Structure 1
Amino acid sequence: MDTNTSPKAATADFDADIVIVGAGPVGLTIANTLGVAGVKTLVIEKLEEIIDYPRAIGIDDEALRTIQTAGLADEVAAHITPDHWMRFFTADGQCFASIEPRTDEFGWSRRNAFIQPQVDNILYQGLKRFAHVDTLFDHGVTGITQDADGVTLQLESGKGQTRTVRARYVAACDGGNSIIRRTLGVAYEGRTKANQWIVVDVRNDPLGTPHIDMCCDPERPYVSAALPHGIRRFEFMVMPGETEEELSKPENMAKLMRKVVPDPDKVDYIRKRVYTHNARLAATFRVNRVLLAGDAAHIMPVWQGQGYNSGMRDACNLAWKLAMVVQGKCGEAMLDSYGQERRDHARSMIHLSEVAGDIFAPENPLVGQVRDKLMLALNAVPPVKQYFAEMRFKPMPRYERGIVVPPERSESRPLMGGLLRRSGDTPMGRLLGLMAEKKESFIGRVLNGLEAPQPSPVGRMFIQPRVTTEAGETLLLDDAIGLNFAVLAWGTDPTFNMSARSIAFWQRMGVKFICVKPQVQMAYRDALRPGVITLGDAQGRIKDWFSQQSQSVVFLRPDRFVAAICAPQGVDATTAALARLLAAPLEA
């Protein structure tokens, strides 16, 4: 085991500041982010190597932004297909809904196809950049104990060798069957769908068309998905009485493939695998010094491609918090915000995935007929079509508790949306209920009979446009900030009204003070305080963002969520409020 220590490393009493159990995408992403932060980290994996068979095929803009923060975006970008549409077809081939998001508000396209093992390998190889990050494969956890100072893990290798590892904190990323979650006695609530699906991956794409087609055939629903590098995935529902062994026989596989390709004998198969769809959520995401992430904390059906991406949101939320606690910048109580912020959103994504699955493959054929007629009718209404095309139904993370200072205002409740969900426990009823509860959408306004006010940006992810540095380099905003807090103001020095005490506090936190101004003004050098950097608004998007706000100083967390927004004269009060939430003293 590597015994090198980072400048921030703890005492030799610990093998690592952070031990991550599980070398899947979530664990690897946390490890890379901690590596960037300079935290001594150990990744433990019970397998001899990372999993090489395909699983997830959709990666969203939030996940790519997280990988960008870990410094691996350029390598990953070579293995994605941006702007990946998802189209739903009736049994007779009519497209009744098409999800065609074209936005890049977070710096990346909203939907992207990818092949998970390729990206997982990039994440794994990325750990080699850090002398203070080590891996230990072929070791499973057999016991775990905690005390006031740290966590002790008992390990056993595949050859029966035992060893003990000690850490300040543990991130349990060991999957849906998490040994750590089960050992800690954390309930895993939810359900398992009765039906299964067989996944078939092939090389040399026999269709060659882009995007994902969801074919709602009542006899046997199936999916056809174009992936990067000439790979295509087919998914077929396993019908009652069928087994993986039977379906994998050449003659039965040929029957399945004949639904989608002209000549099933000329298909270049990679592998076939049967999956069961689960919807489960851990009762808590934190037990003292152990924090659950990824499938260990939640698992969901595949229909919106959010299982992988929800895990990456966990990694994005948790890594910077662990880093700041072990580095002594924030108090341990701050870690409670992880579950406060992530658990509710994970539940929302599980619900969305279940509704999408019920609509795609309803158990009652009559529901499928109603779905086809209703969706074809709704698709003829331009605002409704836009609602689906732009993925406005997707619940975006919005933190109302945790490391956020919310504005003091109340919001009216979506009464019609709640009524619809209570009165119509059917796939379409639940979908309409979700649409009604999103008051900022066209359908939400119609069903609720109101125009919702502009929602506060606090607790939401900040945009990521391109900016220009004082050196003349144009780059994405996150690359200019790094893994740091930022206090960003439009057109002015964000520290002008800030006391020396508040400035010193943010400097200890590693903040970037930023003045953003129109691109054309970059030729003029403002007289700003030392330590304040100027960025040019290369696309005009930051100006547009601030034009929708009534206040002009925004406090950004390292994960780029808006922690607070205030007027220039409110920066000290906002600093004090955030210091309390971070469990960090204002005074050194």
Structure 2
Amino acid sequence: MTTACDVLVVGAGPVGLTLANLLGQHGVRVLVAEREQQLIDYPRAVGIDDEALRAMQTAGLVEGVLPHTIPDQKIYMVNGDRLILSEVNPTTREFGWPRRNGFVQPLVDRVLLAGLDRFPNACVRFGAEVTDLVQDADGVVAAFADGTKVRARYAVAAEGGASPTRKRLGISFDGETRPSDGLVIDVANDPIGTPHAVFGGDPRRSYASIALPHGIRRWEFTLFEHESPDLADDDAFVFGLLAPHVPDPSRLDIIRRRVYRHHARIAGRFREGRILLAGDAAHVMPVVGGQGWNSGIRDAFNLGWKLAAVVKGLADDALLDTYETERLGHVRQMVAVSLGMAKEMTDHDPVKAAERDRIAASRTAEEREAQKRQAFKPQPTFDEGVVVHTPLPVFKTLPARDVPRLAGTIFPQPRATDTDGVEMLLDDATGQGWRIVTWNNDPTAFVSVRRLAVLDRLGARLVQVVPRAQLPWARKHAAPGVTVVGDLGGEAGLQAWFDARPVGAVVIRPDHVIAAECLAQELDDVLGRVFAAACLTTTPEG
């Protein structure tokens, strides 16, 4: 038995591979153990959102992911008569990327796998089934089906909704499984050729028709309780389902047909000592909301920087407790939203369907616009964890405002310029990791030497944002170690963001969540509170 790694990731799905890439960037020794001999080659998820694309950007993989996406994919919700109930078409770029995108999951998974080739400290073992995980005070010993064992400091179970690890740990998986299955049919050479997706709330049989990249189209049909999953292999049955959608189902180039269950479940806890659950091992939700895959990526993004900090000795093990604290609330929201959408669009009671149609027809223009911009999708907001809530200032130099708290929300990513004036997305201009962002001010003027020492150990970035017109002056006079960024102005710019909020400094975590916000003069004290919330072991005494 050898200590092969700092972190063992069980499962080479998108969550495990994303986490491994993020850990690889930090120099953490990571081993991904996958039971199968290769990546799963059939599409499961079909939607990737802006938060996940930003995570891919952080991992340095977004340019490989984008060719397998349909940006700004519109969704139409229709009734049994194909009349539009609602339209989902958010076109803003709060986090720098399109908010809704169709994608081909197996091709994106390959990008994630290939990304690990960049790191000598990361590797994947296929055909490696983990049969047990045993913990002690210093680590985890994984037993494999071939009789070998590996020791790691931590293990992350990301092996799907049936997670053997979760079951062995005796962790509950509470929620519900819907009584009817779904049949997925993927075809090549898309016979329809339109770019959008349609969700059909037909009480006779609900369905979805989704355009995917590279000429692929997916159909999903509800199977009734009396219908056997074996019908997926019955051409007559499948062609009968497709007949209302295409002129000649027999001429379709069918790639695959699969039956799946509709689950809405959440693990009783996400951590058991040195073992953590992520992705479907921790939570599953109906596919209608398109957030299962994205929720798993949020897990990896939240957990990655925390595991790296603990493994590298920058933070105490207690930091890992904030993973569940922060993720559980949003997971519950997403499961509830997904389950609500599934019930609304797959209810086969004609009376309930008619009432749904009546409610949709009576929506006001404002309500329809809210549906269109996807206002029903809750954004991650952390009340506890690595966040510091500061009171709103009451000084006479600031107008009284009724603004929501910033700490615990995701910092935006507009386009800006780097120090040389080249336009790019903000994260590329500032660099990744911890960031201290001040408007117009030199951040070092407000941070003590001892706090700067901690920031240096963290590899944090000190960022001074100035209007683009000031960039030449600010660049010339910037303090050592300060990155100057030029704001492009406009409604989406950082000046407008700071204008709308009574703060002048923001502390941003590696996962782009605002850890704290404050006036510039408060920055040093607030940083100390953030360090404490993050359980940093590098905080100087006093």
TM-score using structure 1 length: 0.88
1:15 to 2:4 alignment: yes
CA contact 2:185–2:218 (8 Å) conserved in 1: yes
Deviations 1:354-400 (A, max 9, x none): 1001111224221110110110110xx22111110000110110011
Structure 1 counterpart of 2:17, one-letter code: L
Deviation (angstroms), 1:527: 2.4
Which position in structure 1 is the counterpart of 2:327? 342
Equivalence for 1:587 = 540
CA contact (8 A) 1:213 1:225 kept: yes
Paired with 1:309 and 1:247, the residues of 2 have a C-alpha distance of 28
Range moving further from structure 2, 537-546 or 91-100: 537-546
Q: Partner of 1:89: helix, strand, or coil?
A: strand
Which residue, out of 423, 433, 438, partners 1:474? 423
Q: Equivalent of 1:242, from 203, 213, 227? A: 227
* 1:385 alignment partner in structure 2: 368
SS of the counterpart of 2:52? helix
Match of 1:226?
211
Out of 562-571 and 354-363, give the one that drifted further: 354-363
Give the letter for the 1:467 counterpart.
A
What secondary structure, in the 3-state scheme, does the structure 2 residue paired with 1:177 have? coil
The 2-side partners of 1:456 and 1:476 are apart by: 24
Q: Secondary structure at the match of 1:457?
A: coil
Q: Could you give the per-residue CA deviations for residues 185-228 of structure 1, whole angstroms, max 9, x where no partner exists?
A: 11111110001110000011111112111111111111111111
Kept in 1, the 8 Å contact 2:181–2:225? The answer is no
1:84 to 63, 70, 73: 73
Partner of 2:414: 465
C-alpha distance in 2 between matches for 1:252 and 1:120: 32
- Secondary structure of the structure 1 residue equivalent to 2:3: coil
Structure 1 portions without partners, runs of 5+: 1-11, 410-451
d(CA) in 1 for partners of 2:288 and 2:523?
43
Q: Is the 8 A contact 1:69 1:482 kept in 2?
A: no
Question: 1:498 pairs with 447, 458, 479, which one?
Answer: 447
Aligned partners of 1:468, 1:167: CA distance in 2, in Å? 42
Write the distance in 2 (CA, Å) between the matches of 1:527 and 1:217: 65
* Secondary structure class of the residue paired with 1:142: strand
User: Where does residue 395 of structure 2 map in the other structure?
Assistant: none
Matching residue's letter, 1:573: D
CA drift of 1:507 comes to 1.1
Rounded Cα–Cα distance in structure 2 between residues aligned with 1:219 and 1:484: 51
Q: Distance in 1 between matches of 2:52 and 2:510?
A: 15
Q: 287, 294, 317: which is aligned to 1:302?
A: 287
Tell me how far 1:85 sits from its aligned partner: 1.0
Equivalenced residue count is: 529
Give the gaps of 5 or more residues in structure 2. Answer: 393-400
Deviations 1:523-565 (CA, angstroms, capped at 9, x unpaired): 2235232111100113541111111110110000000000000
Deviation digits for residues 289-328 of structure 1, max 9, x if unmatched?
1111000000000111010000000011000110111111
Instruction: Tell me, in whole angstroms, the C-alpha distance in 2 between the residues paired with 1:113 and 1:62.
Output: 14
1:236 and 1:214 map into 2 onto residues whose CA distance is 10
Deviations 1:209-268 (A, max 9, x none): 121111111111111111111100011111232123224312111111101111112111
Q: Percent identity?
A: 42
TM-score (norm 2): 0.95
CA RMSD of aligned residues (A): 1.4
Q: Is the 8 A contact 1:465 1:539 kept in 2?
A: no
CA distance in 2 between partners of 1:481 and 1:22 (Å): 33
Match of 2:378 in 1: 395
Aligned counterpart in structure 2 of residue 145 of structure 1, from 129, 134, 149: 134
Report how far residue 146 of structure 1 moved: 1.0
The answer on whether the counterparts of 2:48 and 2:103 sit within 8 Å (CA) in structure 1 is: yes
2:469 aligns with 520
Give the 3 Å change call, closer, same or farther, for CA 498–328 of structure 1 in structure 2. same
Cα deviation for residue 110 of structure 1 reads 0.4
Please give the secondary structure, in 2, of the residue aligned with 1:135: strand
Correspondence for 1:429: none
Superposed displacement of residue 279, structure 1: 0.6
> Which residue of structure 2 lines up, in the alignment, with residue 75 of structure 1?
64
2:116 to 101, 106, 127: 127
